[in-house]
Amino acid sequence: MTVPDSNPADSRSPARTASPVSRRVFLGGVGVAAALSVVPRPPAAAAASAAYTLRSRAAWGADESLRYAADGTEIWPPEYYPVQTLTVHHTDDGSTDPDPAAVVRAIYRNDTVGKGYGDIGYNFLIDRNGLVYEGRWSGTDGTPAHDASGRLVTGAHVQGYNSGNIGIALLGTLTTTPPTTAARTALIQLLAELAERHSIAPLGKVSYLNPVSGAARVAPAIGGHQHWAATDCPGTVLADMPAIRTEVAALIQG
C-alpha cells in the first residue's frame, strides 16, 4: 500500500462501500476534558454550544504497537494539511459486538494490520450512544486529529481525496437503518465544532484541491462518501445530509 495521497493513485481507501471517558465541552473556544486534563485551545474559536463526549485512543484501547514495524519504524508516519472539507461515512463493518469500543478496536486492527495501512483510516468515529472516538493518530502536541497548528492529520477514507478531508464514521451498517438520535446529535455537534474551528460554511461547497496529488473536485463542504466515490456509504445519512447541514449551521450561529 502507498501512503495516502503520496502519489496520484492514492490507493488507500477502506473497502467498506472500559476505559475513562472524557467530556469535551467547547465553551468560548476552550476545550475542557473533565476528570482528565485541559485540552489545548483550538487554533480557531470552537462552537460555543457544541458539546460531545470524546473517547481518546487510550480510552478505547488502541494498541499503539500495531502502528510500528518489527524494526520499530512507524508504518504510516503522520502528514498534516489544512482542512478543506468534512466527509461522513458509516463503517458497514457487519459487527454484532454490543461493545462499541471493541468494534472500534476491530476496525483499527483491520485497517492497521489487515489492510496494511498502519493505522485506522477515519479521523473520528461515533457509536450508537453518541460517544465520539478519536481515530487516526495525530501526535501529542495538538487536539485529536490535528497538530499544534491546527492542521489535519491525513486519514484513509476517501480514495484520492484524503489530505485536508476530515473523515467521520458512524458505527454500523446504515444502508436501510438511520442512525440513532444520539449518534445523529453527536455527529451534528462534532461537525459544528470542526466547521467553526476551520471556518467552513456548512451549507456551501468547496473546490477541493489535493495538496499532494493535485487532484481537484467540487464537493459539499459537509458531505458523504457518495459525493466522492461510487459507494453506498454513508447509507441513509446521505438523504438526511441537507437537514444535517442546516442544523450544523444553526448550531454555529446559535
Task: Decide: 138 and 120 in contact? Cβ < 8 Å.
Answer: no
> What is the chain's mean pLDDT, rounded?
85
C-alpha cell recorded at residue 239:
438523504
pLDDT given for residue 141 in this prediction: 87
H runs (alpha helix) in 71-211: 100-109, 181-197
Above 80 in pLDDT, residue 98?
yes
Task: Decide: 222 and 165 in contact? Cβ < 8 Å.
Answer: no
Place of cell 471493541: 102
Write the single-letter amino acid at 65: S
Closest CA to 36 of 49, 45, 23, 27: 23
Report the alpha-carbon distance of residue 74 to residue 108 in Å, rounded.
15
Q: Average of pLDDT values for 172-192?
A: 97
Which comes out higher in pLDDT, residue 10 or 30? 10
Q: What are the tens digits of pLDDT across the range 107-149?
A: 999 999 999 999 999 999 999 999 999 999 999 988 999 999 9
Angle between helices 237-253 and 181-197 (to 10 degrees): 50
Task: Decide: 113 and 106 in contact? Cβ < 8 Å.
Answer: no
pTM, entire model: 0.85
Report the alpha-carbon distance of residue 102 to residue 59 in Å, rounded.
11
C-alpha cell recorded at residue 134:
478519536
| Percent over 70 (pLDDT), the chain | 80
pLDDT given for residue 179 in this prediction: 97
Above 90 in pLDDT, residue 164?
yes
pLDDT given for residue 8 in this prediction: 33
